[in-house]
Chains A and B, each alone.
Chain A
């Protein structure tokens, strides 16, 4: 075994122990440790990715402890897992740096190192969700992820965030309760907890035909549980408050990483535990498809009606999660690839939008209202550019990342014509127009100059890039990430395809 194959284990342990060590460090050292750990993990995951592509190994199993397959615990890494880990680390690093100034303003200084502990724990549970091959381990890390995310929401102490954290916890606990019940029933039916073993037993049970219905119920329960946790349409009530009022780094990380971790786990369960044939021939994906479509429309309508820019971006997340589930619901390989690509796109774009929106509201007297943003794109130029790029990407303008995933969704729907083709294409078109309405409306407003008298009266100020160097660099890197996803999509799509092929 090559040394680089230890990377998944090292990344999980490194992030977890950095969290534990941060509890005795000062704010400054915790901050540096957090940054260093994220950087190291992204570099290591990149090396693993290169190694896996070079050797053509596809994926391999890493034994945790000394007990072999049916008894011990396992990690499994492949191209897709390594790529996701690297991508998540990059987005997390940029989200942390972009919101650092705001963190100082909004959070008591004594709580800063707690913030870094929570961020480290969130990262470690996310990596564990990406890499683990054991369902019960996945459940435990899902809960750790939930608790860390709840802490990230309520680190900024006011009534709103505590209420948002409570609502988030309630919905998450409903979801993880269902997931736990599903895992226990699956264990009961198959007698295994490791994903690969379950899928063998699953194939036997399905071929035999006796426990078909209990099995489908179990799969349905697990799917619904994870869908609730990742805020699929009818269960998204907690989302706007949680993303809208927490400190900006938390909002960026919650929308781009935490919910994506659950979706990644769900993909893994589809491929590795249940098997694609079984899931595609059941009605479960039909349900996901319909709720995905509803989410795409409803999220956009709510965003149009919203006057608060942060909440508007949060509602847009509901629509984008709808896209991802719609891609699952298509029930084809192409749909799955499009969904995975959209996970990347949404993670890169939504965190950019949150981070640049905060720059815009800061120069508008801290008001989050949409009407006070007039001309803020001139007062904080780099934030304006970031917001414009993010908006164009979400709307789906070519050369930006959102275009590629929308193209992939449309292609996936048309290439295998079923009854799902027309609804997908129509809703995709409507949703694009709705996205354009609320995002371009905001972009036009931030580039509409404000009257000089109003600027003086309300005390708006301009901020140049040399006053906020870290923020500027963050936004530039985010924009570059967006352009890479938008203009260099073929290699990434091929990587996703090989990754998914090695997934089962």
Chain B
């Protein structure tokens, strides 16, 4: 039973793995662009998880076509709604991070956050 579940839920497992990869990249990478890529992998993994959980085999997207109105015909629309909201949030956060990176790069000509910190300490600002 448990083994069957383990194989059946591969989508969720991939999502959690990707979440871990993204999280680790955001945490330990020194390069700012790689950090932002990690952030995006992490957020996308959450959307994959939601999409995987929201899908019910054999049902359609929740848009009424041909007058079919039974609940059994469609999947749950809320996870899709959550994914859309999440995408909006992650796009704005990514844009903010990228703009901050541009600022730092123009000032210090490097993307390495640790090196920037070291230089700031030397400047003694």
Whether A140 lies near B26 (C-beta < 8 A) is no
In the assembled complex, B33 has its CB within 8 A of some CB on chain A: no
Whether A169 lies near B82 (C-beta < 8 A) is no
Query: Can you list 20 A-B contacts with CB-CB less than 8 angstroms, sorted by A residue number?
Result: A143-B89, A147-B92, A150-B96, A150-B100, A159-B120, A159-B123, A160-B125, A165-B100, A166-B97, A167-B113, A169-B97, A170-B27, A173-B39, A174-B26, A177-B22, A177-B26, A177-B39, A177-B46, A181-B46, A184-B50
Residue among B23, B43, B120 with most chain A CB within 10 A: B120
Interface residues of B in 88-122 (CB under 8 A from A): 89, 92-93, 96-97, 100-101, 103-104, 107-108, 113, 116-117, 119-120
- Residues of A near B107 (CB, < 8 A) are 159, 162
A225 to B78, CA, bound (A): 23
- Known contacts A147-B93, A166-B97, A170-B35; 10 additional CB pairs below 8 A are A150-B96, A162-B103, A163-B116, A166-B100, A174-B26, A177-B39, A181-B46, A184-B49, A185-B49, A245-B125
Whether B100 lies near A162 (C-beta < 8 A) is yes
In the assembled complex, A180 has its CB within 8 A of some CB on chain B: yes
A160 to B104, CA, bound (A): 10
Whether A173 lies near B26 (C-beta < 8 A) is yes
Residue of chain B at shortest CB distance from A172? B93
Interface residues of B in 60-107 (CB under 8 A from A): 78-79, 82, 85-86, 89, 92-93, 96-97, 100-101, 103-104, 107
Whether A166 lies near B42 (C-beta < 8 A) is no
- Residues of A near B113 (CB, < 8 A) are 163, 166-167
Closest chain B CB from A151 CB (angstroms): 8
Whether A170 lies near B89 (C-beta < 8 A) is no
Residue of chain B at shortest CB distance from A188? B53
Closest chain A CB from B115 CB (angstroms): 11
In the assembled complex, A370 has its CB within 8 A of some CB on chain B: no
A165 to B93, CA, bound (A): 13
A474 to B76, CA, bound (A): 53
- Give B24-65 as 1s and 0s: 1 = Cβ < 8 Å from A's Cβ atoms: 001100001001000100110010011001000000000000
In the assembled complex, A51 has its CB within 8 A of some CB on chain B: no
Whether B53 lies near A170 (C-beta < 8 A) is no
Whether A181 lies near B49 (C-beta < 8 A) is yes
Whether B125 lies near A158 (C-beta < 8 A) is yes
- Residues of B near A193 (CB, < 8 A) are 78
Residue of chain A at shortest CB distance from B32? A166
A160 to B117, CA, bound (A): 8
Whether A166 lies near B85 (C-beta < 8 A) is no
**Contact status of A174 and B23, CB under 8 A, knowing A162-B100, A184-B82:** yes
| From A140, A158, A162, A184, contact of B89 by CB (8 A) | A140
| From B32, B43, B116, B120, contact of A177 by CB (8 A) | B43
Whether A162 lies near B104 (C-beta < 8 A) is yes
**Contact residues on B (Cβ < 8 Å of other chain), bracket:** 35 or more
- Residues of B near A245 (CB, < 8 A) are 125
A166 to B120, CA, bound (A): 14
In the assembled complex, A280 has its CB within 8 A of some CB on chain B: no
In the assembled complex, A136 has its CB within 8 A of some CB on chain B: yes
Residue of chain A at shortest CB distance from B12? A188
A245 to B125, CA, bound (A): 9
A187 to B86, CA, bound (A): 14
- Residues of B near A163 (CB, < 8 A) are 104, 113, 116-117, 120
- Residues of B near A169 (CB, < 8 A) are 93, 96-97, 100
Whether B117 lies near A180 (C-beta < 8 A) is no
Residue of chain A at shortest CB distance from B106? A162
- Residues of B near A160 (CB, < 8 A) are 120, 125
- Residues of A near B35 (CB, < 8 A) are 170
| From A139, A147, A170, contact of B26 by CB (8 A) | A170
- Residues of A near B19 (CB, < 8 A) are 177, 181
Whether A136 lies near B120 (C-beta < 8 A) is no
Whether A136 lies near B85 (C-beta < 8 A) is yes
**Contact status of A143 and B117, CB under 8 A, knowing A173-B39, A177-B23:** no
Residue of chain A at shortest CB distance from B35? A170
Interface residues of A in 130-173 (CB under 8 A from B): 136, 139-140, 143, 146-147, 150, 154, 158-160, 162-163, 165-167, 169-170, 173
Residue of chain A at shortest CB distance from B113? A166
Residue among B92, B101, B103, B119 with most chain A CB within 10 A: B103
Residue of chain B at shortest CB distance from A71? B78
Closest 5 CB pairs between A and B?
Answer: A143-B89, A188-B53, A177-B42, A160-B125, A166-B100
- Residues of B near A146 (CB, < 8 A) are 93
Closest chain A CB from B56 CB (angstroms): 13
Residue of chain A at shortest CB distance from B89? A143
Residue of chain B at shortest CB distance from A180? B46
Residue of chain B at shortest CB distance from A136? B82
A143 to B117, CA, bound (A): 26
Whether A180 lies near B103 (C-beta < 8 A) is no
- Residues of B near A181 (CB, < 8 A) are 19, 46, 49
Residue of chain B at shortest CB distance from A144? B89
Residue of chain A at shortest CB distance from B92? A147
- Residues of B near A184 (CB, < 8 A) are 46, 49-50, 53, 82
